[in-house]
A and B are shown apart, each in its own frame.
Chain A
């Protein structure tokens, strides 16, 4: 933990919803914040931006205490040096592009001329030189996003908050804007948080993932680690894996509902068991042979997923299976049909819960 970084330990009590999180971010580090809708991501950003007062706890950025409920300290949004870029950019419609970017400098009392020169340079840096005099409504989504980024960066924030910065872009322009955003974040020396729903975005942009569910951090770590070893159903779905919880005894694990899973290696105690939907085999009858790694369920839904069909199987152990369209035809799978799911032990990853 460098003194330049962010330390956040806060509780926000909003009636039935309680956000209770601890987050540490080093200077220069980009954290991808993931979580389902209503998990508390926006509340978390609101606290960091100084727009929401925490009920308890403390926020410190670059050695400066921004919030400390115990001592009643609270630095308002305008004194925080926290930049905010949101999904729909919120560019000021009545100002030109360069006036938008110069806004933060003007608000800090920098004379108009110098503010505009500085804003123009920042626009140049994000590849928007020459668009200074445009109005926001004349920009494409990708350009608007870069203006919003330039507007936030020009005042040199110590913490940059990006709330689903790519969500409003169409699928065609997203990869290019994402790559560019990654470049800008790599060159940014402060802390950054990118809120996203998109696992790819999280992997590309984040040095570290933090997953929030029901107001709590449920998993944090390097993207590859989180993707391989999801800790909750939400993360598993996000990275496209099936996840079962069980208790391991050596080479087997009891996952409940009378089902025992054979493991490829030894584990003990509570474990997560992850496997890809493409490793799941569906059959209309209980397969012969091995009594392990087989459980019954009911076809709930069929959905095209690339070249394959993703079958949602409900039951005591719900599971996703990717099967070929040919297999669907052969098995005559349809919603409501009982099936047996099986997975080879070699396709399973088990890790302590």
Chain B
């Protein structure tokens, strides 16, 4: 604010027009006030006690494990998928790119329903898994990982696809003239070049997985220790009238998100 006034250059009115300033402040308030409210109402005295309670620690452990697993899964599948979208030359690529990004705008609950229909015991793939291997996914920790990957992988794919597109392909050409196979070129030239993009995408993916709620509760349910992650724990706390607990969990998640987003904002904006 003060900067907007003092940075006025000679001959130019650099003040922010009121017409822009007022709605900007309203928007800012809309985004920040609820979070500030949480901090205001937080039971700071009971904080350590609540944070170290069994249910929170269990949920935290589960959240970190599942979000990390979902991120690993997303990197292993998402990087090759991003490569395909960026470099592949096949019909329907635009359609495929659209499909991959659908989970970004789809309500996660719908994602959960879709997962249930596909992987549920009566589902197309789930039924086969059940008959063939006796495997049942819904309401297991595996279902949590799958839900998180479904919702979070598109973030990684978009970031990495941008990095692949931004990478100078002439390096790959030079590597090829030096006798490198396509796989060697990918491993030793392309991948190192897009590594910052992969790292950014993975962190974003992890953060999104950590906050996943809708798909998880639909497809995996809310069982303490196996599927009840931090957001579900907060939801349960609210339902049980334990506002203090809900606030503590919320603040915890907000801090993690802020740290990650502030650290990545520059890169994320650039990648887009």
Q: Which chain A residues numbered 46 to 61 have a C-beta less than 8 Å away from chain B?
A: 49-51
- Residue from B168, B173, B181, B189 within 8 A of A84 (CB atoms): B173
CB–CB A92/B180 < 8 A? no
Cβ of B47 within 8 Å of any chain A Cβ, yes or no, is: no
Report how far A155 CA is from B176 CA in the complex, Å. 12
Cβ of B61 within 8 Å of any chain A Cβ, yes or no, is: no
Binds B, one of A4-12, A74-82, A196-204: A74-82
Q: Known: A90-B168, A92-B189. Is A77-B173 also a contact (CB below 8 A)? A: yes
Report how far A108 CA is from B184 CA in the complex, Å. 10
Q: Which chain A residues numbered 97 to 149 have a C-beta less than 8 Å away from chain B?
A: 103-104, 107-108
For residue A31, which residues in chain B have a CB less than 8 angstroms away from its CB?
none
Give per-residue flags for B175-198: 1 if the beta carbon is below 8 A from chain A beta carbons, else 0.
Answer: 111111100100011001100000
For residue B189, which residues in chain A have a CB less than 8 angstroms away from its CB?
92
For residue B180, which residues in chain A have a CB less than 8 angstroms away from its CB?
78, 103-104, 107
Interface size of A by CB at 8 A reads 22
Main SS at interface, chain B: helix
- Residue from A86, A94, A108 within 8 A of B179 (CB atoms): A108
Report how far A104 CA is from B175 CA in the complex, Å. 7
Q: Known: A103-B188, A107-B184. Is A90-B179 also a contact (CB below 8 A)? A: no
Cβ of A272 within 8 Å of any chain B Cβ, yes or no, is: no
Q: Which chain A residues numbered 168 to 218 have a C-beta less than 8 Å away from chain B?
A: none
CB–CB B177/A82 < 8 A? yes
Q: Which residue of B lies closest to A83 (CB)?
A: B177
CB–CB A86/B170 < 8 A? yes
Cβ of B104 within 8 Å of any chain A Cβ, yes or no, is: no
Report how far A61 CA is from B184 CA in the complex, Å. 25
Q: Which residue of B lies closest to A84 (CB)?
A: B177
- Residue from A80, A92, A94, A108 within 8 A of B177 (CB atoms): A80
- Residue from A50, A79, A80, A90 within 8 A of B174 (CB atoms): A90
Q: Which residue of B lies closest to A151 (CB)?
A: B178
- Residue from B168, B173, B178, B181 within 8 A of A104 (CB atoms): B178
CB–CB B175/A103 < 8 A? yes
**Chain A min CB distance to B168 (Å):** 7
Q: Which residue of B lies closest to A85 (CB)?
A: B174
Report how far A80 CA is from B174 CA in the complex, Å. 12
Q: Which chain B residues numbered 211 to 253 have a C-beta less than 8 Å away from chain A?
A: none
**Chain B min CB distance to A241 (Å):** 35
Q: Which residue of A lies closest to B174 (CB)?
A: A90
Report how far A104 CA is from B185 CA in the complex, Å. 11
Report how far A108 CA is from B180 CA in the complex, Å. 7
**Chain B min CB distance to A179 (Å):** 25
CB–CB A104/B179 < 8 A? yes
Cβ of B44 within 8 Å of any chain A Cβ, yes or no, is: no
For residue A78, which residues in chain B have a CB less than 8 angstroms away from its CB?
176-181
Cβ of B40 within 8 Å of any chain A Cβ, yes or no, is: no
For residue B168, which residues in chain A have a CB less than 8 angstroms away from its CB?
90
Other than the known A80-B177, A94-B192, what 10 A-B pairs have Cβ atoms closer than 8 Å?
A50-B176, A78-B177, A78-B181, A79-B179, A83-B178, A84-B173, A86-B174, A92-B175, A103-B175, A152-B177
The 5 closest A-B pairs by CB, nearest first: A104-B178, A77-B176, A107-B180, A94-B192, A107-B179
A to B CB contacts below 8 Å, 6 in the list: A50-B176, A77-B173, A80-B177, A92-B175, A103-B178, A107-B181
